[in-house]
Homo-oligomer: A and B are copies of this chain.
Amino acid sequence: MRRRFLVAAASAAGGGLMSFAAQADEASKKARVVVQVSEADPARWNLVLNNVRNLQEDLGAANVAIEVVAYGPGIGMLKLDAVTNSRVSEAIKAGVQVAACENTMRSQKLARSDMHPAVSYVPAGVVEIVKRQQEGWAYLRP
């Protein structure tokens, strides 16, 4: 939300219609989606990975930023021995950010060595999901 305000402020203060529209265009070009994984269900994990692939195929991978956040019972999707391991690798190679919740890892006594080696980490999955939405990202909970 802050960014939206600052862009508007810059325009109101000094910019003309053209520069404003240009900035608006720039900002609206790329879709942004945060995808939640909070269930311990491999069928749901595969649905998430299908959804991510469809978003990239239909919008074009360059036109959509996707962040998958696994937390709570969903953390299992990102463990080293998860059935979805190779599909998670593919998603990350395709430019999807895939993040594990460190709060959940602590409560489930999981170390980074227990996790898929290419995932990233966020201190709290639920905070990440809320922050992204407040920044204007769409939210998907498959």
Question: A residues bordering B, Cβ < 8 Å?
Answer: 1-2, 4-13, 16-17, 20-21, 23-25, 27-28, 31-33, 36, 38, 43, 47, 50-51, 54-55, 57-59, 64, 72-73, 103, 123-124, 126-127, 129-131, 133-134, 136, 138-142
Q: Which of B13, B73, B133 contacts A139 (CB 8 A)?
A: B133
Which of B9, B43, B124 is in CB contact (< 8 Å) with A58?
Answer: B124
The quantity of this chain's copies bound in the complex is 3
Pairwise interchain contact B1-A9, C-beta atoms closer than 8 A: no
Are A126 and B140 closer than 8 Å at their CB atoms? yes
**A142 and B6 contact, CB distance less than 8 A:** no
Q: Nearest chain B CB to A127's CB is how many angstroms away?
A: 5
**Shortest beta-carbon distance, A34 to chain B, in Å?**
10
Q: Are A47 and B38 in contact (CB under 8 A)?
A: yes
Q: Provide 22 A-B residue pairs closer than 8 Å at the C-beta atoms, listed in order of the A residue.
A: A1-B4, A1-B24, A1-B28, A1-B136, A2-B24, A5-B8, A5-B20, A5-B21, A5-B28, A6-B21, A9-B11, A9-B21, A12-B12, A13-B16, A13-B17, A28-B134, A47-B72, A57-B124, A58-B124, A72-B142, A129-B138, A141-B141
Residues of B within 8 A of A25 (CB): 2
Residues of B within 8 A of A141 (CB): 36, 141
Q: Min CB distance, A107 to chain B, in Å?
A: 8
Asked if A58 and B28 sit within 8 Å, CB to CB, the answer is: no
